A and B are shown apart, each in its own frame.
Chain A
């Protein structure tokens, strides 16, 4: 197991290096080059020359790349042209909001998606199955930000059931410990704060969960249908086992294997959706920040974000692989 982890971690290195090369070249191809990227579009010519010299842009490309890599390694992602703050600090500050939202959305998608997919498969062709399948097809086709708008318009603006923006009611002086507000509320015993944060999470999480939910439902359904037809399920039935044993140990345990993989991959792609959802609900996470960064062409933030997301993605992939290794004995290394 440890050897596998080490091997997979080593395999990450070329991927990340390649990515850094791509990013480096991308920065050079930007209109105005990296200097403009650093300074933003309002830079004067004098500023540019100064920064080009400071960045060593007169030196050979590979030297420049070396510096670029060194700075990445030191987590020096530059300074945001919007806020003037170091990009890394901006991330650290906004990171918990996005993670909280993504985790909550994923939990929602899993908690609803797996049972729905399972029961749809059990009653194939029934009303639940038909509506789950058509609902999930529709879910994939609705643009996330449009869904976010609709949810906001109906449940926040019209019905007033949920707040329409932010992570917390303003003026609620909740103690901050981890930056994950729901968790903070629970940790400090400020249950009203936890509840408040939770209520703020509902609508964005619903919007963000729509696509993963649709995919998990379809995946689970297909997988359960396949497993139900397997010989070993018939064997289990032939042993006269109780229905719940057959379903839990023999059907679900096998059917969830491919679903686990999909969940891992979906978590990686959640961050894209978060950009769109957070901006609709002014959620104050990395997503909202990125939205404004795109608008303002805040390149240091974009570069840092791409590196960061790529890293998160490969790490997630690694975790999925390891999880798979734990639950499927057939791929287990001995």
Chain B
């Protein structure tokens, strides 16, 4: 049984005189003991709200939380205030995005650490201070005794985040929720913080729910990834599976939007167009349709269901999933050493710091990432898998990307460019290599 299982979580914000806003509309996932699960998506997709709902930190008024969340057999949403307070900080703990604003500016760090120790572990006075110093030391804050007396503004950004982590792990919680813990930090500090988190997770067997928009973080840390869009899970898979074959057009676009160092000069970047649009609700059809390159009329026939079009356990909520031919990955395997820039941090810190990181585990990661490129040709290829490549009458699209229908026009915006497609030489060799990668990763 998973440690945390979230089933059809919905969060609705209601305000008088305004339209209800459904920030989360049916998110399901589970986290096992010691597992790192990622919730990925752009701002506004509901990932932070999901975490706050699990912690019971959403405001009571104007917010309706639906669905179920079971933590070790207890229903989190059915708990009374006292019991919930008892669990928060001791069983479930959270690390927030902005370490400066998340620390009380007028209370010394020491008090902010000891207060949780005295609350849940009954430590008082010198014993609490000693333990607090030990915690600060453990998260890599030098000279912890002095730091205890200091105020948040006297610490550097990375130091503050370490202090927050120290508070979160103070009572050895079984589940740690990290809401974009590295977003507000410099890249070098980001890597250190991720490393620290990984270390803590590995040593304590704490489960970690990682909320992020940074695919690099996901690649480096997560075992299982859930991609959220407009409050719904659109794709859920193991890390390697997802990076090897992103199947929902949104996930596919996300991975394709990362700039590549090995792309030819002058190659345009390929953003996922537009932004989350709350004009279309999931009830009307797929909320991603207005931004999607592959939409068809079926997209608007009610909410798409989660299906497993590719491999068991790899769930996708799309009627026109991006199913590349199994062998497409091989092109990328050839190019494996050229890593995508955005993923470097995550990749490098990830496997190195993990205790089990050996050559065996290290290898699939780069392969998995570059497979992004491999997965792509199919999306732009009009002939190969014609059945799955969605086409829409040009009349319906006044937007800049109006020429999706023609293969040539699609190429620059879909995940991989014509260059990859033009190298058919790689294809025969591919199936074995690329086909095995995800499986190996999954085991």
Instruction: State the A residues within 8 Å of B (CB).
Output: 230-232, 234-243, 245, 249-250, 253-254, 257, 327-330
Residues of B contacting A257 with CB < 8 Å? 106
Let me know if B86 and A235 touch, CB within 8 A.
no
A sample of 15 cross-chain residue pairs with beta-carbon separation below 8 angstroms, ordered by A number, consists of A234-B102, A236-B104, A239-B88, A239-B89, A240-B84, A240-B86, A240-B88, A240-B119, A240-B120, A242-B119, A249-B111, A253-B106, A254-B104, A329-B105, A330-B151
Within residues 212 to 243 of chain B, which ones have a CB less than 8 A from any CB in chain A?
A: none
Let me know if A238 and B106 touch, CB within 8 A.
no
Q: Which residue of B lies closest to A334 (CB)?
A: B154
Residues of B contacting A249 with CB < 8 Å? 104, 107, 111, 115
B202 is an interface residue with CB less than 8 A from chain A: no
Let me know if B106 and A241 touch, CB within 8 A.
no
Let me know if A250 and B153 touch, CB within 8 A.
no
Let me know if A237 and B164 touch, CB within 8 A.
no
Interface size on B, as a range, is 20 to 34
B90 is an interface residue with CB less than 8 A from chain A: yes
Instruction: State the B residues within 8 Å of A (CB).
Output: 52, 55, 57, 81, 84-90, 93-94, 96, 98, 101-108, 111, 115-116, 119-120, 151, 153, 164, 167
Let me know if A239 and B167 touch, CB within 8 A.
yes
Let me know if B164 and A235 touch, CB within 8 A.
yes
Give the secondary structure class of A's interface: helix
Let me know if A241 and B85 touch, CB within 8 A.
yes
Specify which of B52, B85, B89, B106 lies most central, judged by the most chain A CB atoms within 10 Å of its CB. Answer: B106
Let me know if A234 and B104 touch, CB within 8 A.
no
Let me know if B107 and A253 touch, CB within 8 A.
yes
Q: Which residue of B lies closest to A238 (CB)?
A: B94
Residues of B contacting A232 with CB < 8 Å? 101-105
CA distance A39 to B331 in the complex (A): 106
Q: Which residue of B lies closest to A250 (CB)?
A: B104
Residues of A contacting B164 with CB < 8 Å? 235
CA distance A260 to B411 in the complex (A): 63
Let me know if B87 and A250 touch, CB within 8 A.
no
Let me know if B57 and A254 touch, CB within 8 A.
no
Let me know if B151 and A238 touch, CB within 8 A.
no
Let me know if B153 and A330 touch, CB within 8 A.
yes
Which of the residues B55, B93, B119 comes within 8 Å of A241, measured between beta carbons?
A: B119
Which 4 A/B pairs are nearest by Cβ-Cβ distance? A240-B88, A240-B89, A239-B89, A231-B101
A246 CB to nearest chain B CB (Å): 9
Residues of A contacting B94 with CB < 8 Å? 238
CA distance A240 to B96 in the complex (A): 15
CA distance A117 to B88 in the complex (A): 29
B219 CB to nearest chain A CB (Å): 27
Residues of B contacting A235 with CB < 8 Å? 96, 102-104, 164, 167
Residues of A contacting B111 with CB < 8 Å? 249
Residues of B contacting A239 with CB < 8 Å? 88-89, 93, 115-116, 119, 167
B382 CB to nearest chain A CB (Å): 50
Let me know if A250 and B107 touch, CB within 8 A.
yes
Residues of B contacting A236 with CB < 8 Å? 104
Which of the residues A238, A241, A245, A330 comes within 8 Å of B105, measured between beta carbons?
A: A330
CA distance A250 to B153 in the complex (A): 16
Let me know if A238 and B107 touch, CB within 8 A.
no
Residues of A contacting B81 with CB < 8 Å? 243
CA distance A250 to B104 in the complex (A): 7
Q: Which residue of A lies closest to B103 (CB)?
A: A232
CA distance A237 to B116 in the complex (A): 10
Residues of B contacting A327 with CB < 8 Å? 106
Q: Which residue of B lies closest to A237 (CB)?
A: B57
Q: Which residue of B lies closest to A123 (CB)?
A: B61
A324 CB to nearest chain B CB (Å): 11
Residues of B contacting A250 with CB < 8 Å? 104, 107
Residues of A contacting B116 with CB < 8 Å? 239-241
Let me know if A241 and B89 touch, CB within 8 A.
yes
Let me know if A238 and B104 touch, CB within 8 A.
no
Which of the residues B90, B96, B151 comes within 8 Å of A234, measured between beta carbons?
A: B96
Q: Which residue of A lies closest to B52 (CB)?
A: A234
Q: Which residue of B lies closest to A249 (CB)?
A: B107
Residues of B contacting A240 with CB < 8 Å? 84-90, 116, 119-120
CA distance A253 to B107 in the complex (A): 9
